[in-house]
Amino acid sequence: MKNKYIIGGVIIVIFFGLMGYLFTQTNISYENNFSQVMNTSKTIKATGSMVKSQNYQYDKKNRILKFWLKDDEGVVMKVVYKGSIPNNFESASTLVVTGKYVNGYFHASDILTKCPSKYQEQYKESSNS
């Protein structure tokens, strides 16, 4: 009978230990200041606009996308992403990249595109009339 309690207790301790570990690993912060992104080794979500004057590069064979992002203060950071080009990538007004800044560029594991909404333009036109 005591063996059941010991095994149950061990399972509970392992469960809470695993949940604590996973919680610390998924605690990702958002950052709009690339100067701070470049000085941290943590996984972070960085928000910026794509630098359209510097064309992006996509290696189809290796599926590697390279482009430049600019934050609100004008700091520019090179981003490298392994995967397919996201939908609406070229027309995106803002990009949110998740990853780490290592060896002079941001290694993105995920990219989220935010496009200007056609409904915002319609709302502006209707409010002016």
Quick: pLDDT tens for 29-50: 666 788 888 888 788 889 999 8
**pTM (predicted TM-score):** 0.67
In the numeric block, the tokens 């000085």 are attached to 39
Closest CA to 43 of 52, 30, 56: 30
Convert the pLDDT of each residue in 7-33 to its tens digit.
999 999 999 988 887 776 655 666 678
Q: Out of 3.40.50.10790, 3.10.400.10, 2.40.50.140, 3.40.50.300, which CATH number does the structure's domain 2-128 have?
A: 2.40.50.140
Note the pLDDT tens digit of each residue in 70-105: 988 889 999 999 998 888 888 888 899 999 999 889
Please report where in the chains the tokens 């570990």 appear, as a residue.
Answer: 21
